[in-house]
Amino acid sequence: MADLGAPTDPRLLAGIGGGEDAGVYRFNDETALIQTVDFFTPIVDDPYLFGRIAAANALSDVYAMGGKPLLAMNLVAFPSKKLDLAILKEILRGGLDTLNEAGALLVGGHSIEDDEIKYGLSLTGTVHPNQVLLNSGAQPGDQLLLTKPIGTGILATAIKGGLAGDDTEKMIGRVMAYLNRQAAQALAGSGAHACTDITGFGLIGHLYEMAAASGVAIELRAAAVPLLPEVLHFAAMGIIPEGAHNNRCHYRRFVNCALPGENDPLEIVMYDPQTSGGLLIAAAPKDIAAIAARLSVGKYPFDFGIIGEVLPAPPGRISMV
Ligand code: CO
Ligand code: CO
DSSP annotation string for 118-150: EEEEEEEEEE-GGG---GGG--TT-EEEE-S-B
Domain 143-320: homologous superfamily in CATH:
PurM-like C-terminal domain (3.90.650.10)
Rounded to the nearest angstrom, the distance between the alpha carbon of 105 and the centre of ligand 2 is 19
Query: Which residues have a beta carbon within 5 Å of ligand 1, which is an ion?
Result: 21, 61, 197
CA distance 185 to 232: 31
Rounded to the nearest angstrom, the distance between the alpha carbon of 79 and the centre of ligand 1 is 28
Same fold, 12-131 and 143-320: no
Tell me if residue 229 falls in helix, strand or coil.
coil
Residue spans of the domains in the chain: they are 12-131, 143-320
Q: What is the pLDDT of residues 159-168, one digit of tens each?
A: 999 999 899 9
* The Cα angle at residue 87 between residues 86 and 90, in degrees rounded to 5: 90
> Taking the model in full, what pTM does it have?
0.95
Q: What is the pLDDT of residue 18?
A: 74
Rounded to the nearest angstrom, the distance between the alpha carbon of 308 and the centre of ligand 2 is 23
Cβ proximity of 109 and 64 under 8 Å: no
Cβ proximity of 142 and 193 under 8 Å: yes
Q: What is the pLDDT of residue 19?
A: 81
Cβ proximity of 305 and 244 under 8 Å: no
Rounded to the nearest angstrom, the distance between the alpha carbon of 64 and the centre of ligand 1 is 7
* 195, containing H or E segment: strand 194-197
CA distance 43 to 47: 9
Rounded to the nearest angstrom, the distance between the alpha carbon of 61 and the centre of ligand 1 is 5
All residue ranges of the chain with pLDDT < 50 are: none
Q: Which ligand is nearest to the CA of 36?
A: 2
Q: What is the pLDDT of residue 291?
A: 97
| Maximum Cα interatomic distance, the chain, rounded to a whole number of Å | 57
Rounded to the nearest angstrom, the distance between the alpha carbon of 273 and the centre of ligand 2 is 13
* The Cα angle at residue 219 between residues 229 and 264, in degrees rounded to 5: 45
Rounded to the nearest angstrom, the distance between the alpha carbon of 276 and the centre of ligand 1 is 9
Q: What is the pLDDT of residue 262?
A: 66
Q: Which residues contact 20 (CB under 8 A, 6 or more apart)?
A: 14, 65, 134, 135, 136
Thinking of the domain 12-131, which architecture would CATH place it in? 2-Layer Sandwich (3.30)
